[in-house]
Structure 1
Amino acid sequence: MTIAAPPFARNAWFQALLLAFAALLVLPQGLAAQEADDERALSLQRIERTGDDRIAVDLYADGAPRAGETWMLALRFTPSAPEWHGYWANPGDAGLGMDLVLDLPEGWEAGEYLYPVPKRLLIADLMNHIYEGEYAVLVPVAVPADAVVDGIPEVTGTVEYLACTDEICVPQGAVLSAGQGSTLGRDFARWRAEIAPMLDAAATFTITDQTLRLAIPLPESVELSDPHVFIANTRLVDYAPFQSFWRDGDLLLVEVPLSDFGSGEAETIEGILSFGGEAGVRFAAAPGEVAIVGDPLVTMNSAEALTPPLWTLILGALVGGLILNIMPCVFPILSLKALSLARAGESEAEARSEGLAYTAGVVLACVALGGIMLALRAAGEQVGWAFQLQSPSVVITLLVLATVITLNFGGIFELPSIDTGNGQGRSAFGTGLVAAIAATPCTGPFMAAALGAALLLPTPLALLLFAMLGLGLALPFLAIGFVPALRKRLPRPGAWMDTFRKAMAIPMGLTALALIWLTAQLGGRGFALFALVALFGIVLALYVVGRLQKAGKMAWPAFGLVAAPFLIFGAFALPSSYAPPSRDLTASLLEPQAFSQEVLAEARASGQPVFVWFTADWCVTCKVNESVAIERESTAEAFKEAGVVAIVGDWTVRDEAITQFLTEQGVAGVPLYLWYEPGSGEPEQLPQVLTPEMLSERALRDR
């Protein structure tokens, strides 16, 4: 049976209209295909024009795929010369990530690209995430369960990327092809091993006003030589500033400053945690609460950030040592040694010899103290500058020394090694040792950064800073010895010099009294009382020596006979009476809390301003600042009005937690004053010399 077409269908006009309608239906598909072909051709032309001569790229397949499994492809990048480097997915402040397009069989899907642990490259305050040398990026491909697989399929594609040196960047691109014979078994095993593995447990993150905080589950046994977190999210964090790390058991806490140009928002955070070198893990973080607790880590990148240029550190140590000469325990020694040159006459050779010997004694003492401190830290001891004053035995030794010098200056007895009139190099050398030992417990302006950096720098550079500190301390006397014009300005010798010498016994005596008070602070009142009994025996013995010296008789054997019973008593009584008292925080107007990492973390989480100060009873600068700026009614009222949380760290007695925190802040001793703005990441480090209104004005500003 034949069905005839309707009459209108046999009409010529209708047939023409039908053909036009069919063309309209086909035209969009044809245009889309043509547009895709044109774009593909344009991309290929662009890639052919750029080439891959700086960093070559090849596509490989890891054997034949299997239906329903993940098939792995690899892009191997090979620089033509060592100076060329490529980039991670998030290149950092500059650079360009890889743009890859693969032609896969229908239904096959490429997953997230897998990268090795990148490296950091800092150029002009711009942090880049790079790869040096040959590296491979793996591309997992999901093969459908119903796929028909017959060997290795032909896979083609294009890739565009950037090749850079420290000076220039060149766009690169290549047409890719992988098929039969492209697999490299041993290379794939190595490439897989270089990829940062994914953590099984999820991380947590929270974003504050200024920082991104991460809590990454990581076994405490994993060593972190130089940790760094590479954040895959672009325009979220600031890459150049150093990152802060804490260990809390099997949890690694990280704090990273936010970028000034981003939104400061993210639904998830992904990245790579580098342990240091080529080892690391990938992580994915979900929103949650992250509190900063645990033990802080001092990392290489934080050390670099905390360490100013070497020349500024050397200058700071030199100027800091120079300032120590005005300390009451150093100025009398320096003054009398300077006047000894005037008494010794105008001999150039003798003046230079005195200057060099004194300088040698000072520098040797500073380097020795610094070397002992570095050795103790290398052995795992948490000590800082002035660590010797945290030892009761050292403080008692300094008390005896200050008392002996006071009696010598007062004319009670004569001690050749301190006698200012013999003009001998040996005397100057011994005086230099005494001056350095008496001065180095202090940490004054300009010294903090230098001594803090000495804890982070290699040992030779650290010892250089300690030597420069000693040179600064010895510089005035060295200048007097080598510059005749300065010696000519010294007063002429006369009877007044003996009066001046006795006057210099007053500041030395005040130093001895301060050390008696410090002895009580370190070991308790009973400990200080027994120390005074032993000291009385030494004073009595020196008085007897002085009387015998004035009579022209043999004096020093009498010292042993008189002092021995008192010293034996002290040797037995002092250890048994040692009982360090606890600090009475209720006596402070600011009502501070005792420092700990937990207390600081809780205070910062409160959303209130936080003021933290670190002090010690033996720190003169600390005590002056407390009387001038901290323990004031106006400061207490301003803190109360602004809701400032006050925290004090007492470093009078050795405290490993405080020492570690000081090191983290890039300082080696006290005083240290930190101000945390609400929601801030890194604290503001206030000057070491506080003015009366500095703290109250800052508190009212944050009100």
Structure 2
Amino acid sequence: MPAICQWPHRFAVCWALLVAFAISGPSFAQNISGIEPNIKATLVADGPAVPGENVTLAIHFEPVSDEWHGYWANPGDAGYGMQLEWDLPAGWTAGEPQYPVPQKLLISNLMNHIYEGSYAVLVSVSVPSEAQAMGAARIGLKAQWLACTDKICVPEEGEMELTLPLGDRAFGDGRFAEWQAAIPPMIDSAATFEMSGNTLRIAIPLPSVVNLADPHIYIANTDLVQYAALQTYMRSDDLLVAEIALSDPDTKPEQITGILAFDGKNGVRFAAKAGDIAPIDGAFTRLSSDTPAVGLLLLAALAGGLILNIMPCVFPILSLKALSLARAGGSESKARKEGIAYTVGVILACVALGAIMLALRAAGEQIGWAFQLQEPGVVVALLVLAVAITANLAGVFELPSVSLTRSGEPASAFATGLLAAVAATPCTGPFMAAAMGAALLLPAYQALLLFAVLGLGLALPFLLIGLVPALRNRLPKPGTWMERFRRLMAIPMGLTALALVWLVSRLGGQGFALMAMVLIIGLFIALAVVGRLQSAGKMAWPAFGLIIAPFAIFAAFALPASYSESVTNRSDSLLNPVEYSAVAMVEARASGRPVFAWFTADWCVTCKVNESVAIEREATRAAFAKAGVVAIRGDWTRRDAAITEYLTEHGAAGVPLYVWYPAGGEAQILPQVLTPDSLVTLAKGSLEPDADRPLPTAQGAGSD
């Protein structure tokens, strides 16, 4: 008899299913050898198994047609969940299955938790270090699952076998990125539940900026709640309280786990412990689809864009902005056109970058804000642009039609706006972090609107100067000083180019950077020749093409050949941090010590300023040593799916991100801009463990 019949309160449902099986002979035939199942199951690995690490396996389910659906771990009022029996090598252990967000199916007032279409359940398998002696490992799996339509259900089973090579991590099945992106992240803070009469109340910490459209809680504990009952939600600041009718009020679970789903496909996992929940008062708002928090998010994006104008990562392009402002004093019509063109350039760049990011995430890529600076080719292109602008500012050559510094034409301002946005987007500051983090969870049209408003905030000061004569009249009058100022501003732009050279070496290695420098030398020679021909009143740009062509052809072949995948970006630190991995984080928190985790990147100027001001200080090191703080660093210079997942779980779309875990406590998100004493104060305020207890090291905690 199917497992569903073992649950007394489902007696009627069980017999209904058995009757369905009896009258549909072919449905039982699915268990007979040689008969194709209605939902095919395949066991897939994400790559070779590395001794001492975990390997992720996927059980991929593919219905033979759209009418068939599978079930979540807790199937709801009818059906039964998947059952697994692993056959693993000695010492290997399989973790709990991780499911994507399920869907609701209501039939005759029976609520089922199902999956329509193909889906994958992921299982993390621990590989012992002694597995190194073997060349390959055999993994066997016996699985049972239920395949149903709206009319019949068919118990199905299958035996799967996988021969897994052991060795260094290599690129695995390309579908894993999409499957992993479908698994809802676990919220970092613990939820709380209490039972009152026939009602279950769950309080889930959730940032107020996350827009909950069509929320639904899937409870993993079986037979606890009435699945088809109406769920009500109240929200206040960063707390969501849900009320669900109980099925068995006498049940007293120690923990309740489940998934909070919203927008139909997104969600987060939670684990709730028993405790008291504050009464619902006037500070709470009952949720409905008509009262989204998008307005607050738009204000946060606007404020974040404004603040970007004074953030350190925007300093390299202040020279271009200053020249744009100086030109604005010459003509009212030109100033107005230039302010609008600059704004259009900034907004277009922000929306384009946001759209690309959302499209790649929808395709399963684990990326975040400023993803473009993780691509070596993009950084080389920015380096070429920075060198060309530096040469233009220094007077090496002139580009009258779209000059970024002299012509005052709208095309110039538009190009300046594009560059401003590209240079500014790696930063996240106050307000912006919350808005960009929420954009990852919003519907696409709302997320794109957030990116557009972010761009408007970044461009707003210059738009106002272009449109408001009173503001423009306060600027210095145009004159010969502008030429001297332009040449002076070549210095910060040149420093930006040098910083990009350093970043190229960090991304692709010294050989890759050397090949890029060959291209840059050719570019500068070509531009210098153009400048000399322009001074002589001769045709210049054909000569540019002849000179740059061999260098460009050389770079097209030499750059990919010299790129190194094995570049390490782990620099020395006073705090001797453990490099971030999920295992390292778990071990650090389990040590009973305070934990400070910081996420940085070589291309993030704000990150480097914070490290200089607050992190890499002798006072911080001494305070951490005294309090026994475990430091964990995540370097996001290169794309890293594990770090991206952590950032997303904590509502951040990019770096910097600073997280403080008190000893035995929950995560506290720190400001994106740290003061010199920020970390020292936190360390002094924490409990001091045994000073003789050694801190974990990168070797002991593992790395990604």
Query: Would you identify which runs of 4 or more consecutive aligned residues in structure 1 move more than 6 Å?
Result: 69-74, 217-230, 235-238, 273-288
Instruction: Find 2:308's aligned residue among 324, 329, 347.
Output: 324
Matched residue, 1:335: 322
Give, in whole Å, the separation in 2 of the partners of 1:230 and 1:632. 39
Inter-CA distance 595–271: structure 2 relative to 1 (3 Å threshold): farther
1:299 aligns with 2:267: yes
AA partner of residue 380 (structure 2): I
**What pairs up with 1:14-163 in 2 under 5 angstroms?**
none
SS of residue in 1 equivalent to 2:658: strand
Percentage identity across aligned positions?
A: 55
Equivalent residues of 1:367, 1:466 under 8 A apart: yes
Give, in whole Å, the separation in 1 of the partners of 2:475 and 2:429. 28
Inter-CA distance 623–230: structure 2 relative to 1 (3 Å threshold): closer
Q: CA deviation at 1:329?
A: 2.6
Give, in whole Å, the separation in 2 of the partners of 1:550 and 1:356. 33
1:378 aligns with 2:362: yes
**What pairs up with 1:247-326 in 2 under 5 angstroms?**
271-272=224-225, 299=267, 309-326=293-310
Q: CA deviation at 1:350?
A: 2.9
Q: CA deviation at 1:575?
A: 0.8
- Superposed CA RMSD: 4.3
SS of residue in 2 equivalent to 1:649: strand
AA partner of residue 537 (structure 1): G
Inter-CA distance 285–658: structure 2 relative to 1 (3 Å threshold): farther
Inter-CA distance 403–238: structure 2 relative to 1 (3 Å threshold): farther
Q: Which has the larger radius of gyration?
A: 1
Give, in whole Å, the separation in 1 of the partners of 2:399 and 2:577. 47
Inter-CA distance 649–538: structure 2 relative to 1 (3 Å threshold): same
AA partner of residue 560 (structure 1): G
Give, in whole Å, the separation in 2 of the partners of 1:581 and 1:678. 35
Inter-CA distance 430–684: structure 2 relative to 1 (3 Å threshold): same
Please identify, of 445-454 and 575-584, the stretch whose mean Cα deviation from structure 2 is larger. Answer: 575-584
Q: CA deviation at 1:315?
A: 2.4
AA partner of residue 335 (structure 1): A
Matched residue, 2:33: none
In the TM superposition, what whole-angstrom CA distance separates every residue of 1:115-162 from its partner, at most 9, and x where no partner exists? Answer: xxxxxxxxxxxxxxxxxxxxx999xxxxxxxxxxxxxxxxxxxxxxxx
1:563 aligns with 2:563: no
Matched residue, 1:351: 335
Inter-CA distance 312–435: structure 2 relative to 1 (3 Å threshold): same
Give, in whole Å, the separation in 2 of the partners of 1:299 and 1:70. 29
**What pairs up with 1:184-263 in 2 under 5 angstroms?**
190=108, 193-194=110-111, 233=195, 239-242=202-205
Give, in whole Å, the separation in 1 of the partners of 2:599 and 2:422. 23
Q: CA deviation at 1:194?
A: 4.1
Give, in whole Å, the separation in 1 of the partners of 2:463 and 2:195. 58
Give, in whole Å, the separation in 2 of the partners of 1:654 and 1:276. 43
Equivalent residues of 1:608, 1:643 under 8 A apart: yes
Equivalent residues of 2:111, 2:227 under 8 A apart: no
Inter-CA distance 406–227: structure 2 relative to 1 (3 Å threshold): closer
In the TM superposition, what whole-angstrom CA distance separates every residue of 1:496-536 from its partner, at most 9, and x where no partner exists? Answer: 11011111111111111111110011011111111111111
Equivalent residues of 1:320, 1:446 under 8 A apart: yes
AA partner of residue 461 (structure 1): Q
Give, in whole Å, the separation in 1 of the partners of 2:303 and 2:509. 36
Q: CA deviation at 1:269?
A: 11
Give, in whole Å, the separation in 2 of the partners of 1:515 and 1:352. 33
Please identify, of 628-637 and 350-359, the stretch whose mean Cα deviation from structure 2 is larger. Answer: 350-359
Equivalent residues of 2:404, 2:415 under 8 A apart: no
Inter-CA distance 651–605: structure 2 relative to 1 (3 Å threshold): same
Give, in whole Å, the separation in 1 of the partners of 2:10 and 2:469. 85
Q: CA deviation at 1:385?
A: 0.5
Inter-CA distance 287–619: structure 2 relative to 1 (3 Å threshold): same
Inter-CA distance 70–615: structure 2 relative to 1 (3 Å threshold): closer
Give, in whole Å, the separation in 1 of the partners of 2:292 and 2:203. 15
AA partner of residue 653 (structure 2): A
Instruction: Find 1:521's aligned residue among 506, 518, 530.
Output: 506
Give, in whole Å, the separation in 2 of the partners of 1:691 and 1:403. 34
1:467 aligns with 2:452: yes
Q: CA deviation at 1:276?
A: 12
SS of residue in 2 equivalent to 1:411: coil
What is the TM-score when the length of structure 2 is the normalising length? 0.60
Q: CA deviation at 1:475?
A: 1.3
Give, in whole Å, the separation in 2 of the partners of 1:566 and 1:454. 41
Give, in whole Å, the separation in 2 of the partners of 1:597 and 1:456. 22
Matched residue, 1:608: 593
What is the number of residues matched between the two proteins?
472
Matched residue, 1:31: none
**What pairs up with 1:172-187 in 2 under 5 angstroms?**
none
1:553 aligns with 2:538: yes
Q: CA deviation at 1:618?
A: 0.4
Give, in whole Å, the separation in 2 of the partners of 1:543 and 1:273. 76
**What pairs up with 1:683-702 in 2 under 5 angstroms?**
683-702=667-686
Equivalent residues of 1:628, 1:691 under 8 A apart: yes
Q: CA deviation at 1:238?
A: 7.3
Matched residue, 2:633: 648
Q: CA deviation at 1:662?
A: 0.6
Q: CA deviation at 1:190?
A: 4.3
Equivalent residues of 1:534, 1:567 under 8 A apart: yes
Matched residue, 1:406: 390
AA partner of residue 697 (structure 1): T
Inter-CA distance 298–671: structure 2 relative to 1 (3 Å threshold): farther
In the TM superposition, what whole-angstrom CA distance separates every residue of 1:440-459 from its partner, at most 9, and x where no partner exists? Answer: 22223332111111111111
Equivalent residues of 1:328, 1:508 under 8 A apart: no
AA partner of residue 612 (structure 2): S
SS of residue in 1 equivalent to 2:550: helix
AA partner of residue 338 (structure 1): L
Give, in whole Å, the separation in 2 of the partners of 1:377 and 1:461. 16
SS of residue in 2 equivalent to 1:498: helix
1:632 aligns with 2:608: no
Inter-CA distance 310–272: structure 2 relative to 1 (3 Å threshold): same
Q: CA deviation at 1:227?
A: 10
Equivalent residues of 1:230, 1:271 under 8 A apart: no
Matched residue, 2:26: none
Equivalent residues of 2:600, 2:637 under 8 A apart: yes
Equivalent residues of 2:308, 2:429 under 8 A apart: yes
SS of residue in 2 equivalent to 1:673: strand
AA partner of residue 371 (structure 1): A
Equivalent residues of 2:580, 2:634 under 8 A apart: yes
Inter-CA distance 280–598: structure 2 relative to 1 (3 Å threshold): farther
Instruction: Find 2:469's aligned residue among 454, 479, 484.
Output: 484
SS of residue in 1 equivalent to 2:316: coil
Give, in whole Å, the separation in 1 of the partners of 2:378 and 2:113. 51
Q: CA deviation at 1:255?
A: 14
SS of residue in 2 equivalent to 1:299: strand
In the TM superposition, what whole-angstrom CA distance separates every residue of 1:31-64 from its partner, at most 9, and x where no partner exists? Answer: xxxxxxxxxxxxxxxxxxxxxxxxxxxxxxxxxx
Inter-CA distance 280–629: structure 2 relative to 1 (3 Å threshold): same
Q: CA deviation at 1:382?
A: 0.9
Inter-CA distance 353–301: structure 2 relative to 1 (3 Å threshold): farther
Q: CA deviation at 1:550?
A: 0.9
Matched residue, 1:540: 525
Equivalent residues of 1:231, 1:269 under 8 A apart: no
Give, in whole Å, the separation in 2 of the partners of 1:604 and 1:255. 28
1:531 aligns with 2:499: no
1:421 aligns with 2:406: yes
Q: CA deviation at 1:579?
A: 1.2
Equivalent residues of 1:614, 1:672 under 8 A apart: yes
